[in-house]
Amino acid sequence: MQKRELGRSGLEVSAIGLGCMGLTSSYDPPAARAEAVSLIRAAAERGVTFFDTAEAYGPHKNEEIVGEALAPFRDQVVIATKFGHKFGQELSQLGVDSRPEHIREVADASLKRLRTDRIDLFYQHRVDPNVPIEDVAGAVKDLIAQGKVRYFGLSEASARTIRRAHAVQPVAALQSEYSLWWREPELEILPTLEELGIGFVPFSPLGKGFLTGAITADTTFDSKDLRNSIPRFAPEARDTNLVVVHVLTRIATRKQATPAQIALAWLLARKPWIVPIPGTTKRHRLAENFGAADFELTAGDLREIEDVLAGATVQGERYPPFLQAMIDR
């Protein structure tokens, strides 16, 4: 697996990482624990060195699984986890909490669940409007000084928030949604990251599965699957949104690849400091996703994608309302 540096941080990771959220949450049914551990270890054995988890996934169960799976590989991998949420009985009761004392509590709890003595990359999961970002960055700076954390990251933060945080403690990476059907980061976020030397870690790089071509207008999801509540997965939006999949399929056929591989290769071609983190619960999808690092899109391929998408508009919001409200504007 090729390596990439996240911006100018000095943190080097595999060109494609593994997003572990779906192993325990959001896309029901979750994987059995033994299967999840096995899949994570299979990724590490393929040369993947970047693994993404969070206290919110499960909650807590995901970090426990990642910690168990990566214990034999700990010194060869980079583990990213996140702080900044408070929990209720239902997903819709999810809230934010980035008080410095809470950040410290989460760090200590995550270290235990991950079976490690340091968190390689500690993201603020969502910006907390009630806590100045300078206080958040300062709390993580203290954790770095204590050796509990190596690098600081943000998720779904605005350009202004990124700048304010970076002035207190250098931000190594921003994690936000970015893919062929969500390109808003190109307007302000990517230029800001390039200027400041911050890496970019796109989550949902395959559009929560839509860009794989496996989802059609007739697809139904498990009753607890988050996609049931996402507007752009509504049946009336899917036909319109399939235009993105059609162009990926055409290029994939020409290159003897899959639509998912072309979608990931497109992200890798955007900037050398972009590291997508697709997730899966299936071993064959693991091999497919990581194989995208071997595909290079030509200038003609990239132009074809741009030409088709220039006249296309993706229908529907990317989150249900309660999650949409957490986005830092």
- Measured CA to CA, the distance from residue 296 to residue 230 in angstroms comes to 32
From 57, 123, 151, 178, active-site residue = 57
Q: Hey, what are 131's tokens? A: 């806590």
* First-to-last C-alpha distance (Å) of the chain: 35
- Measured CA to CA, the distance from residue 281 to residue 40 in angstroms comes to 9
Residue pair 40/65 in contact by the 8 Å Cβ criterion: yes
Using CB atoms within 10 Å of the CB of residue 211, give its burial: 0 to 12 exposed, 13 to 18 middle, 19+ buried: buried
Residue pair 6/273 in contact by the 8 Å Cβ criterion: yes
Per-position DSSP letters for 272-313, written without gaps between them: TTB------S-HHHHHHHHGGGG----HHHHHHHHHHHHT--
Taking the CA atoms of 143, 26, 190 and 78 in sequence, report the sign of the dihedral they define. positive
Strand ranges (E), the chain: 3-5, 12-14, 18-19, 50-52, 78-83, 85-86, 95-96, 119-124, 149-155, 171-177, 199-203
Catalytic residue flag (residue 151): no
Q: Which residues are marked as active site?
A: 57
